A and B are shown apart, each in its own frame.
Chain A
Amino acid sequence: MKKIEAIIQPFKLEPVKEALKSIGIDGMTITEVRGHGRQKGHKEVYRGQEYNVDLLPKMKIELVIADARLDEVLRALTAAARTGKIGDGKVFIYDVAEAIRIRNDDRGEAAL
């Protein structure tokens, strides 16, 4: 099993959710986060004054999937989240040791 953690632009959340849904992925955790990578913060000038926006609003999506689905899910996710500009975000992939469904103690991929 793999855990996918994707940091994306907030306005790309709906397209990403739709893309994942279209390949049968419904379960995910979404968090409002702030941060920046190489994009860094930027400065807005508002009424003659500089207004620092050092940490930009982003969305974090976390999901755990079966190994066999990894490529397919990554393709759908990155295609939907991409604008081609700096700030589109990143995807991190982790190995998952075990998954347990609390309700009935299902284990492994059956618990996903």
Chain B
Amino acid sequence: MMIAEKQLFDPVRALEERTSAVDTQVLQAWQAHMAPTAASAALLAVGGYGRRQLFPYSDVDLLLLFATDRAAGALKEPISHFLQELWDSGLRISHSVRTPAECAELHDQNVELSISLLDQRFLTGGRPLYDALLEKLPRFVHSQRDSLVRHLSQMTRERHAQHNRTFYHLEPNVKEAPGGLRDLQLVFWLNQIAATTPKALAAPAPVPELNEARRFLFGLRGYLHYHARRDSNLLSFDAQEWIADQLGVADPAALMREYFRAARSIDRSATRVLETEEARASSLFAQFRDRLARLSNADFTVAREKIYFRSPQQLDTDPELLLRLMEFIARHGVRLSLEAEQQLAARLDEARAHFARPHPVWPAIRAVLSLPHAPLALRIAHETGVLAALFPEMASIDCLVIRDFYHRYTVDEHTLVAIQTLTQLRDSKDPAAAPYKALVSEIDQPGMLAFALLFHDTGKGSPGEGHIDASLCIAQRAMERIQMPAPEQQTVRLLIRCHLELSAAMNSRDPFDPATAQYLAHKVGTVENLKCLALATYADISAVNPTAMTAWRAGQLWQLYMLTYNELTRELDTERIAGAESPERARFIQGFPTRYLRTHSEAEIDSHMRLEEQSRSSGVAVQVEKARGVYRLTLVTADRPFLFASIAGALSSFALNILKAEAFANRLGTVLDTFVFSDPLRTLELNPSEADRLRITVERAVLGRVDVKHLLRSRPHVAPPSRKSRIAPAVHIDNEASQTATLIQVVAEDRPGLLYDIASAISSRGASIDVVLIDTEAHKAIDVFYVTAGGRKLDAPKQQEIQQALMHVAQAVSPVRA
């Protein structure tokens, strides 16, 4: 029964030969034990044996067909002798006994039987019995096609889930994993089911584009069976080495690259056929199709859940249509149609040539990377070659295998999984991931972080020790070509350069040694960089293998993040900025807390300085801008009492909801205030002129030309959101934390006008607000004020007076008039 090993080099023929050899054996045993009963039983080969694709150690699936259960019962003994003989000869037989009627029923518990009948092949026995089955089978398959498709799709999804829904495994199961032989067979089955009519069962139709992949995987599985001497389909590191040796391939990693390319083509075909058939089988489909069709625009049409080009020729003259395509996918999460994929493949050379020259495409790429379905867009771009056309640098990590015991995925897949981890954090319910979920919503440039992740391991395709320098070089070329502005390039370089710092510190540094936090703070420089780096580290570790990011590790990383964060913001008020590179800058920032430099980029500092210049002539300069769904108001003016309260009040009078605020004063008494606010009534969005009116109102309030109390009386009412648990208000006064000021912390249920009430309560008691940090988390406001009176900390009676006033404000559910 063994096939000579040399014949393995033609896997398709080897499988047929084993099938013929087994046929002979089975027929002989039948002749010996079942021949006298010839008319009352029929013997069928099913499954892989039915398809004439018996691998060296595969099970041999047999179906014994009887007219009735009673007929089968009468032949119990000869059946058992027949099976025993086959079993004793070394074949692994798996058999079932059925009537033709049973074969034409759908059993929810045993859909595999119905599926295996698609591959049935008559061996011997009563022909009329087989004819009876042949008559029922097409009608059954045709009438149950939707159910069969649904069951197949469910079984496939469950199987894929066991393999983490990816075909990139360093030790894959070539039969069961996505992109494996089972998926290849799925393509044939689904095509067969779709083509079956009530009169005739369709034969498996050839799928030419999968021929090469099929031949390669058949060969691999054959080798695996010979290597393990049993039905083992796990392509382990050992097996990879042995097979590479048999094939004369010097590097097993090269064999695996070939494997991943084969698996990728099967995975794509299987996904496409499955989705098409599922959609057809779903009764909700019509409705769904209409919903997605509405997404169509000037460039793309969406039909049957898939994207089509309106005019594919446009790609010849306008290669940047590809970027709009990626943005469309990233925005809506819809896949490409086969037709669009083919049109795109035919024009990739032009795209490659276009994007090889420098073009200012960074804003478009940033937009793609910031959208909710960015991972899908990247995945599709990677599979269709668009990503490699855009960034030829990525080719070095395409299907690149890193052989170690921790990495489960190839480098390109690791990269995509890392970016996917970031996106999935937004909806994570895992309590261990909760702090990182909050960080994702806080960072300013998610697109830049995703870009850094896209390139963080590109250097792994280059020879030599350590990949970071190579990744930096590769990213630099790409950033220059897409004309990314210098400050963003700098951040991307920092993230790539430091991407192993936090995980290295987790493994090798004492978190409680102050030197650890100082070292990391020095490396990252700013709070924003630290946040991005913590997220990059979280994503990078999570993408090593599905169990790498344990709650234990997430906790360890968070501890390091917190210590470094505190180190970066520690000098909040005790350390003031003493100098700067230029006298103009020094004049502006001297006296601000050191925190200012740690929380603002160079570009922001420059923009603040321009505002300061404007404010010199008019007394005040106000800037309002919109970014990422919220508004930011930045204001520079000379300090005066009630200043902070006036601005807070002016914003509240427009029914705007203050989310964050900062106030800093420099040595010359110039104040820089920043307010981040949302616009719950969409006043600014729907009335463009209101933004100007807001700016003018704030200016007038600051200069004392309008009474804020009067403004607040005419304010529109915003109902507070309903909630189950209320937040316990608290006012905490600390005279020790800072050397120069009294620290007041207020925790309160957020409500319209809260900040105005708090600031007025402080200012109206003769105290001056030096530094303010306001944050809102859900409906909880956490406000921290550094307050002085007459240039000194507050004395005990003043503290008590302010505490009482603030407690009154914090407890109130509606605005308080001080």
| Contact string against A for B residues 498-515, beta-carbon threshold 8 Å, 1 for contact and 0 otherwise | 000000001111111100
Nearest CB of A to B636, in Å:
25
- CB-based contact A51/B552 at 8 Å: no
Q: Does B550 contact A (CB under 8 A)?
A: yes
How long is the Cα–Cα vector from A34 to B550 in the complex, in angstroms? 12
Q: Tell me which residues from 557 to 574 in chain B have a Cβ below 8 Å from any Cβ of chain A.
A: 559, 562-563, 565-566
- CB-based contact B552/A83 at 8 Å: no
Q: Does B553 contact A (CB under 8 A)?
A: yes
Q: Which residue of chain A has the shortest Cβ distance to B556 in the bound complex?
A: A57
Q: Does B645 contact A (CB under 8 A)?
A: no
How long is the Cα–Cα vector from A49 to B784 in the complex, in angstroms? 11
Q: Does A53 contact B (CB under 8 A)?
A: yes
Knowing A32-B550, A57-B552, the reply to whether A44 touches B559 (Cβ < 8 A) is yes
The interface stretch among A6-14, A21-29, A65-73, A92-100 is: A6-14
- CB-based contact B508/A85 at 8 Å: no
Cβ–Cβ < 8 Å partners of B563 in chain A: 44
| Contact string against A for B residues 721-746, beta-carbon threshold 8 Å, 1 for contact and 0 otherwise | 00000000000000000000000010
How long is the Cα–Cα vector from A27 to B703 in the complex, in angstroms? 75
Q: Does B241 contact A (CB under 8 A)?
A: no
Cβ–Cβ < 8 Å partners of B658 in chain A: none
Cβ–Cβ < 8 Å partners of B508 in chain A: 11, 14
How long is the Cα–Cα vector from A46 to B553 in the complex, in angstroms? 19
Q: Does B135 contact A (CB under 8 A)?
A: no
Nearest CB of B to A106, in Å:
24
Nearest CB of B to A54, in Å:
11
Q: Which residue of chain A has the shortest Cβ distance to B743 in the bound complex?
A: A48
Q: Which residue of chain B has the shortest Cβ distance to A39 in the bound complex?
A: B512
Nearest CB of B to A36, in Å:
13
- CB-based contact B782/A49 at 8 Å: yes
Knowing A48-B782, A53-B559, the reply to whether A11 touches B745 (Cβ < 8 A) is no
Q: Which residue of chain B has the shortest Cβ distance to A46 in the bound complex?
A: B562
- CB-based contact A32/B559 at 8 Å: no
- CB-based contact A11/B510 at 8 Å: yes
Cβ–Cβ < 8 Å partners of B562 in chain A: 44, 46, 51
How long is the Cα–Cα vector from A108 to B261 in the complex, in angstroms? 50
Q: Does B641 contact A (CB under 8 A)?
A: no
How long is the Cα–Cα vector from A87 to B775 in the complex, in angstroms? 34
Q: Does A102 contact B (CB under 8 A)?
A: no
Q: Does A38 contact B (CB under 8 A)?
A: no
Q: Does B555 contact A (CB under 8 A)?
A: yes
Q: Tell me which residues from 11 to 65 in chain A have a Cβ below 8 Å from any Cβ of chain B.
A: 11, 13-14, 32-34, 44-49, 51, 53, 57
- CB-based contact B559/A11 at 8 Å: no
Cβ–Cβ < 8 Å partners of A51 in chain B: 562
- CB-based contact A34/B552 at 8 Å: yes
How long is the Cα–Cα vector from A29 to B655 in the complex, in angstroms? 61
Interface size class of B (residues with CB under 8 A): 20 to 34
Nearest CB of B to A109, in Å:
29
- CB-based contact A47/B559 at 8 Å: no
Cβ–Cβ < 8 Å partners of A32 in chain B: 550, 552-553
How long is the Cα–Cα vector from A57 to B566 in the complex, in angstroms? 20
Task: Tally inter-chain residue pairs, CB-CB below 8 A.
Answer: 48
Cβ–Cβ < 8 Å partners of B555 in chain A: 34, 53, 57
Contact of A48 among B509, B556, B745 (CB under 8 A): B745
- CB-based contact A11/B507 at 8 Å: yes
Interface size class of A (residues with CB under 8 A): 20 to 34
Contact of A45 among B513, B550, B566 (CB under 8 A): B566
Cβ–Cβ < 8 Å partners of A11 in chain B: 506-511
- CB-based contact A10/B566 at 8 Å: no
Cβ–Cβ < 8 Å partners of B550 in chain A: 32
Nearest CB of A to B550, in Å:
6
Nearest CB of B to A42, in Å:
9
Cβ–Cβ < 8 Å partners of B510 in chain A: 9, 11, 83, 85
How long is the Cα–Cα vector from A11 to B563 in the complex, in angstroms? 16
Nearest CB of A to B85, in Å:
36
Q: Tell me which residues from 530 to 583 in chain B have a Cβ below 8 Å from any Cβ of chain A.
A: 550, 552-553, 555-556, 559, 562-563, 565-566
Counting chain B CB atoms within 10 Å of each CB, which of A10, A53, A83 scores highest?
A: A10
Cβ–Cβ < 8 Å partners of A10 in chain B: 506-507, 556
Nearest CB of B to A51, in Å:
7
How long is the Cα–Cα vector from A13 to B556 in the complex, in angstroms? 14
Nearest CB of B to A67, in Å:
33
Nearest CB of A to B540, in Å:
18
- CB-based contact B784/A87 at 8 Å: no
How long is the Cα–Cα vector from A48 to B771 in the complex, in angstroms? 14
Counting chain B CB atoms within 10 Å of each CB, which of A11, A33, A87 scores highest?
A: A11
Cβ–Cβ < 8 Å partners of A46 in chain B: 562, 565-566
Q: Which residue of chain A has the shortest Cβ distance to B773 in the bound complex?
A: A48
Nearest CB of B to A31, in Å:
10
Q: Which residue of chain B has the shortest Cβ distance to A86 in the bound complex?
A: B512
- CB-based contact B512/A85 at 8 Å: yes
Cβ–Cβ < 8 Å partners of B745 in chain A: 48
Nearest CB of A to B207, in Å:
46
How long is the Cα–Cα vector from A28 to B100 in the complex, in angstroms? 60
Pairs A–B under 8 Å by Cβ, sample size 14: A10-B506, A10-B556, A11-B506, A11-B509, A11-B511, A13-B507, A44-B562, A44-B566, A47-B565, A48-B745, A48-B773, A48-B784, A57-B559, A83-B510
Interface residues of chain B, those whose CB is within 8 Å of chain A, are 506-513, 550, 552-553, 555-556, 559, 562-563, 565-566, 745, 773, 775, 782, 784
Further contacts, 14 of them, CB under 8 A, given A14-B507, A48-B784 = A9-B510, A10-B506, A10-B507, A11-B506, A11-B507, A11-B510, A14-B508, A32-B552, A44-B562, A44-B563, A48-B775, A48-B782, A49-B782, A57-B555
Interface residues of chain A, those whose CB is within 8 Å of chain B, are 9-11, 13-14, 32-34, 44-49, 51, 53, 57, 83, 85, 87
Which 3 residue pairs are nearest across A and B when measured between Cβ atoms? A32-B552, A57-B556, A46-B562
